[in-house]
Structure 1
């Protein structure tokens, strides 16, 4: 009997019809395979019907020991199949939240789906939510929370993308999320900027409001005031750091930048305001760029601070090959004047070649080939590195 029931449910889950949660699956199952009135082999059911591995089933079965029959789990599985979840999706969901099989379809799951549909979510969106939120999906409060988040994120796609990286529904709207959003608005961020920040760093809205305030203070102290064009980007950079670093005002990072690039405090602020993500670069990466730009290319620290975006460019795949190509041209008298290295580094590859490679095909026929090889990390045979 269990094998027959399992076979029918497995077929339903594998086909995953996009039907209404009020579909006749449950009635069909009850009519074809009457539920036993006593006993429920939870572990075997989880393996044969839900598709869990035996170790997962052993662990999950302890949560289902109170069940006397598979009637409710059958109804839940049919409901999930109706939403469009595959057998693998259901197995993952049940492994994370075995009690999902105990949820009432009529009293909980169907009303939740109806509420989410009323918010404009598609059936595919709702299925993705079920996979992302597991036990939160069987709580009616999910509808009101998602109603708020949809307004903040601007679209279901943005919200679902953020929920892949942050358990937003586990945090209090009133004590945590809403105060953070209100504070960011006070800092001059518009709804569009807040939505972008939400998508890029969703955990920022689920963290302690005091820490968010510390992030703002840190960004301001380094050199990006509220209302500045780069303020959102500065917050994004600061929010990537550890809690202790943020609470200390990012002082260790600022000190390292100051020493590595021989900058003054003001120049650190300028560099950060031009390219906030400099704060997230590793020490090794920054050290290597400093040695190249200052010691080899000969750029002055203030020049680099004003054009700090170049610190985000690939050293081996862009900065070095272009510097050596231009150096080669200068040493061979092929350039009429010295170009700005900022211009050399920031141009797209197509524009760089148009300006510095293609005009010299006759005088330096191997230059483009050698430049391309250098961009790939290969040492060219004819490229002059002296």
Structure 2
């Protein structure tokens, strides 16, 4: 199952000869720059003194500004930005990511765009946050229309601003009322609510190439997760971030605990997040469930969500509470571990831990400290 994902998502690297050539060219260029005896452009010092850039960032940014003969335009741009509420960290972030903003015409180009953003409902502080995080807000002619599109989809201004740092969102092509990718996702059966969640969780996904999204969706469907299912959103998020190396490593790890190919597939269908868990977390949870708690690999495969809970604060403590109740013949001791894991802490304490407290006064004060639970229960 995991290898099938990798085969479809793998992007073959350029031939080794090309990498070797690129290293030679890059190394030669870097050496030439290091050996260049000419004095630095005046904008290097300007970027350090007026914009607060570190020397390395200033040198890099100055390469885009070598045609400038005076600081007249940069002065006008910085003056406008400060008047509009951008503080030094905002300006520094903006100039590092988009140094060419300093050569824009402050009066004819930037000021009208800033007024349009203000008219779109951004306060001074929100405007500063937006511009510094996403220079496309000033660079693109249709930025306001695209901002309004994403803001409407997400529901609130704050949700949009949280995603503003993804510069590709404002670069997406919008055809009428939708983008090609969002239109495709609607077409395969995803609801508007789930699409909004995808935008919030994986903004790079909805701003990538349509062919890539189509490939990922088809792969998720081939793994038995349909667009209308509750797990499709998580499966899509998971598969879109998988690399071949991660797939192979986690496949080997899960198989080393006795899972079959079919069990891996079922586990993914029930709990796609399993492939986003760290190997350390998987290993610790499986070691506990199989070696200490005594469950069979097939039991865990059918309840893969167990691996996603906190090991020290939920999985281990709750297991030992159930063990205590079972050993004493008390109500709840024979309940399935997953049933006890899924309820809230408040309900668990009332339904299960309260009975342990009667037999072991003071145990609540130590719960859920793992060593205490092991020793006491």
TM-score range (shorter-chain normalised) is: 0.7 to 0.9
Q: Which residue does the alignment assign to 2:327? A: 331
Measured against aligned partners, the alpha-carbon deviations of 1:267-303 in whole angstroms (never above 9, x if no partner) come to 4444333322112123443343333324433435554
Tell me by how many angstroms 1:263 deviates.
Answer: 4.6
- Alpha-carbon distance between aligned partners in 2 of 1:214 and 1:124, rounded to the nearest angstrom: 40
Distance change in 2, residues 1:325/1:77 (3 Å): same
Are 1:262 and 2:259 matched, yes or no? yes
- Alpha-carbon distance between aligned partners in 1 of 2:250 and 2:112, rounded to the nearest angstrom: 50
Q: Which residue does the alignment assign to 1:17? A: none
- Alpha-carbon distance between aligned partners in 2 of 1:134 and 1:317, rounded to the nearest angstrom: 43
- TM-score (norm: length of structure 1): 0.74
Contact 2:48/2:54, CA 8 A, preserved across alignment? yes
Q: Which residue does the alignment assign to 2:312? A: 316
Deviating beyond 6 angstroms after TM superposition, the runs of 4 or more aligned structure 1 residues are none
- Alpha-carbon distance between aligned partners in 2 of 1:336 and 1:63, rounded to the nearest angstrom: 69
Contact 1:223/1:273, CA 8 A, preserved across alignment? yes
- Alpha-carbon distance between aligned partners in 1 of 2:342 and 2:53, rounded to the nearest angstrom: 53
Q: Please, which runs of 5 or more residues in structure 2 have no aligned partner? A: 1-40
Stretch moving more, 94-103 or 326-335:
326-335
Contact 1:97/1:135, CA 8 A, preserved across alignment? no
Tell me by how many angstroms 1:131 deviates.
Answer: 0.3
- Alpha-carbon distance between aligned partners in 2 of 1:321 and 1:71, rounded to the nearest angstrom: 66
Q: How does 1:1-386 map onto structure 2 within 5 Å?
A: 41-134=42-135, 137-165=138-166, 167-170=168-171, 178-242=179-243, 244=244, 257=254, 260=257, 262-263=259-260, 265=262, 267-334=263-330, 338-374=334-370, 379-380=371-372, 383-384=375-376
Q: Tell me, what secondary structure is at the counterpart of 2:372?
A: coil
Tell me by how many angstroms 1:134 deviates.
Answer: 2.9
Contact 1:60/1:98, CA 8 A, preserved across alignment? yes
Tell me by how many angstroms 1:364 deviates.
Answer: 1.5
Contact 2:77/2:104, CA 8 A, preserved across alignment? yes
Tell me by how many angstroms 1:332 deviates.
Answer: 4.3
- Alpha-carbon distance between aligned partners in 2 of 1:102 and 1:273, rounded to the nearest angstrom: 52
- Alpha-carbon distance between aligned partners in 2 of 1:288 and 1:42, rounded to the nearest angstrom: 54
Distance change in 2, residues 1:57/1:263 (3 Å): closer
Q: Please, which runs of 5 or more residues in structure 1 have no aligned partner? A: 1-39
Stretch moving more, 334-343 or 270-279:
334-343
Tell me by how many angstroms 1:239 deviates.
Answer: 1.8
Distance change in 2, residues 1:178/1:253 (3 Å): farther
- Alpha-carbon distance between aligned partners in 2 of 1:336 and 1:206, rounded to the nearest angstrom: 49
Q: Tell me, what secondary structure is at the counterpart of 1:218?
A: helix
- Alpha-carbon distance between aligned partners in 2 of 1:164 and 1:321, rounded to the nearest angstrom: 40
Q: Tell me, what secondary structure is at the counterpart of 1:361?
A: helix
Q: Which residue does the alignment assign to 1:22? A: none
Stretch moving more, 256-265 or 122-131:
256-265
What CA RMSD, in Å, does the superposition of the two structures yield over aligned residues?
Answer: 3.3
Q: Which residue does the alignment assign to 2:15? A: none
Distance change in 2, residues 1:228/1:126 (3 Å): same
Tell me by how many angstroms 1:354 deviates.
Answer: 1.7
Measured against aligned partners, the alpha-carbon deviations of 1:21-41 in whole angstroms (never above 9, x if no partner) come to xxxxxxxxxxxxxxxxxxx95
Q: In terms of Rg, which structure is larger?
A: 1
How many residue pairs get matched? 335
